[in-house]
Amino acid sequence: MRLIFYSLLVFFCLLISCNSGYDETEVSLDSYVVEDGFNLKVLAAEPLLKAPVAIDFDAKGRIWVAQMPGYMNDLQGSGEEEPSGSIVILEDLDKDGVADHSKIFMDSLVMPRALAHVYGGLLYAEPPYLWFVDIENDKPVNKVMVDSIYAVEGNPEHQPNGLELNIDNWIYNAKSNFRYRRIDGVWKKEPTTFRGQWGITHDNFGRLYYNDNSRILLGDYVLPNTLIDNPYYTPKASVDKLLTNDQRVYPAFAGSVNRGYAKGVLNADSLLVNATAACSPLVYRGGSFTQFYSENVFVCIPEGNLIKRLRLNFMGDATKAEQVWQNKEFITSLDEGFRPVSLKNGPNGSMYVVDMHRGMIGHHAYMSPYLRDKAKAKELDTIVNFGRILKVSHNNATNDYLTDFDSLNGSELVSLLQSDNGWIRDRAQHFLIFKELKTVIDVVKDLALNNKNPLGQLHALYVLEGWNALSFDFLVSVIEESNSDVASHALVILKDFISEKSIEQASHIFKSALDRNELGLDVYLANVLGHWVKIDKNQFQPLLTKILKRREMNTTVIDATISGLEKIDTVLYVDSVIKNNLKNTSFLSKLENAITNRKSDKKNAIYTREVIREDTRTSGSKMFFQICASCHGADGKGIDGLAPPLMGSEHVKNTERLALIILHGVEGPVHVNGERYDINLAMPGLIRNESISDQDIANIISYVTNAFSDRSRSLSNKRISELRNVKSSTGMEFTEPELQALDRK
């Protein structure tokens, strides 16, 4: 018996030791529905994760996660400024395809919101800073500040994020007008078009896509930074465009949305009608979802607990999107905790879903009374210690990621530039550049000229650009031998090689491109020609005029042309040939506006905006909790003996009356919704506090009306300044009858 007992004991110890340290959480996906032909799998869940918001993959294919558990821990948003955030590495030590370990790479961070594996290290955003660190044995070393004002102020919903490495070797952001790049070990920052709110993605060509709460998909018709050469012209016809007018969503159940009481927000079944918190679009480039899904866009709709699919239509001068289905979504769930906030292409061709899995994802500064009540009733504010990473794969996919990029040589990386998987191509391009594997330069040049594989051409072209290994003659060869997409990129890069010695050769290649009469190519040719007109007006202006004449109604071509006319716009505006050929087009009027802007030094805002400022409701919420909440309550329901409720109060809905109360104070009794409040103490006004500005008062009004009435309202600084001089009969606090009498005037 003793032998049997010890044998059993050894068996159980071995069993326990085999499982110890592996922390895989069983999560049921029974309430989730994914499109037929696809599989949805949980890769990681709590307790390995808590409030994940962004991911990226390292050279080995491991997932790195930025976590933001300080966001909306409760209905008041407590703890936002606490260093509770972290970046962790997910590991699958037992190799079963599910993460079982979470290794801390960096902790004690305040609201980390974005990360990217670039240049052999990690670029990450922790407002207000953008940092880069090298990585040694999964530990951060050699920390470098890339930008000290990356996200200076603001609501977490409205701070820069994304860190999307594009095919042009620049890193782009949502909610930002700056892009970043490291050249010869030095970080560069320069202006770019302002884009979106949360999440950013790119297609195979290099166009950028983004969105905001109520608009499912926005994007640029053209390559980034090609239409901002003229600082006195702001292109509006071709960047930051709404790509679809259809904002319908089809949730599986009646969830809780911020302003569900407003007309048109919910249908008769209390289902959300249109998107209200769309975020993080992803152009699928994985190559394993079948050709019907290539460059489709998937969009997170966290308020509807779903993920949407759209199809892109490229037209050369524009891009349009359409929902693939009506009354159907790619992924839906009955789980109100399912909050997809980010999507990512992955090494094996799958799509990865970052599920923050939080009850409340709308910031408290924007939360309506309606949603507060719903959240409390459903106890949504208790869903806080969760987080998941899901993998979406096609049932017939065979592609698997087995490569460690750090172990690949130059030739192996060049071969991957032709992969069907966009993630693989992007990573191979980047590794060739930052590792400076120039021994394979001839092979890369051959690929850049191989027009049988346009995608491989593009990536090879930008490897050479990253190595500073391009020349005017080589780019001319690319333009001559390639399709319009590749030729367009070569034309854009050619702007760096403008010189008088190349005039004849440039004129020849531009005439050849013009003869192709391809709309997409004309957009970039029109942009480039403006730069060459500065050198030789006689050679290049006739070509530019020909493009404008045949595309005279095309607003994208007009945007491209005026952007390329920096410093010579006045010369062309008075040119008789231009005027005679284009007198009935919008080109001349837009050109005139650019000239007027130059004379008054009115630049495109991206050249004057240094930071994104905090919105009024967020600023107002901070002041409310500092000054007002102790008496009126954080929930605006008032505190007996101290202050009446603000929730639903007629004094809140009237912004001028509210401003007078905040400025000058009020003494009781007062009535709120027909109920009398006899409060012995008068509420003092803020007018004697010299540190509180008119803007501060406006911010408080913006927050209070949003949080405690049926809609957000505002009052101008000018009007608040005027109300400072409106006095009560005593010159002190107003009484309710005095406020009512002022309303009637």
pLDDT in tens, 127-150: 999 999 999 999 999 999 999 999
Q: How far apart, in Å, do the first and last CA atoms of the chain sit?
A: 99
pLDDT for position 400: 63
Q: Is the pLDDT reported for residue 8 higher than 60?
A: no
Question: 23: pLDDT confidence band, cut at 50, 70 and 90?
Answer: low
Q: What is the pLDDT of residue 641?
A: 65
DSSP SS3 for 88? strand
Bigger pLDDT: 734 or 500? 500
The per-residue pLDDT for range 501-521, each reduced to its tens digit, is: 999 999 999 999 999 999 999
Position 651 pLDDT exceeds 90:
no
Does residue 24 have a pLDDT over 80? no
pLDDT exceeds 80 at position 401: no
Interval 185-210 mean pLDDT = 97
Distance of alpha carbon 277 from alpha carbon 301, whole angstroms: 6
The answer to whether residue 9 scores a pLDDT higher than 60 is no
Percentage of the chain surpassing pLDDT 90? 62
Is the pLDDT assigned to residue 15 strictly greater than 90?
A: no
Between CA 73 and CA 45 the distance in angstroms is: 18
Mean pLDDT of 577-581: 73
Above 70 in pLDDT, residue 337?
Answer: yes
pLDDT-wise least confident of 550-559, 641-650, 730-739: 641-650
Q: What is the pLDDT of residue 277?
A: 94
pLDDT at 613: 67
Rounded mean pLDDT of the chain?
89
**pLDDT score at 675:** 84
Phi, psi dihedrals of residue 548, rounded to the nearest 5° = -65, -35
What is the Cα–Cα distance from 174 to 156, expressed in whole angstroms? 13
pLDDT of 325 > 60? The answer is yes
Q: What is the pLDDT of residue 13?
A: 40
Condensed to tens digits (0 to 9), the pLDDT of residues 470-501 reads 999 999 999 999 999 999 999 999 999 999 99
Confidence of residue 20 (pLDDT cuts 50, 70, 90): very low
Residues 6+ apart with CB under 8 A from 126: 85, 109, 110, 111, 112, 113
Identify the pLDDT of residue 121. 98
Q: Residue 713 has what pLDDT?
A: 85
Look at residue 297 and tell me whether its pLDDT is greater than 90. yes
In tens, the pLDDT along 342-362 reads 999 999 999 999 999 999 988
β-strands 683-684, 665-667: how paired? antiparallel
For the ranges 356-370, 540-554, 577-591, the lowest mean pLDDT is seen at 577-591
Q: How confident is the model at residue 402 (pLDDT cuts 50, 70, 90)?
A: low
pLDDT of 21: 52
User: What does the pLDDT read at residue 319?
Assistant: 97
For residues 169 and 181, what is the distance between their CA atoms, to the nearest angstrom? 7
Residue 708: is its pLDDT beyond 60?
yes
The dihedral over CA atoms of 574, 578, 583, 585, expressed in degrees to the nearest 10, equals: -120
- Answer with the residue of higher pLDDT: 6 or 535: 535
Q: Answer yes or no: are the C-beta atoms of 53 and 342 closer than 8 Å.
A: yes
Asked if residue 6 lies in contact with residue 13, where contact means CB atoms within 8 angstroms, the answer is no
Residue 595 to residues 8, 230, 293, 433, Cα–Cα distance (Å): 89, 10, 45, 40
- The mean per-residue pLDDT over the stretch 598-621 comes to 81
% pLDDT > 70, the chain: 93
The pLDDT value recorded for residue 370 is 81
pLDDT of residue 744: 65
Report the 10 Å Cβ neighbour count for 25: 16
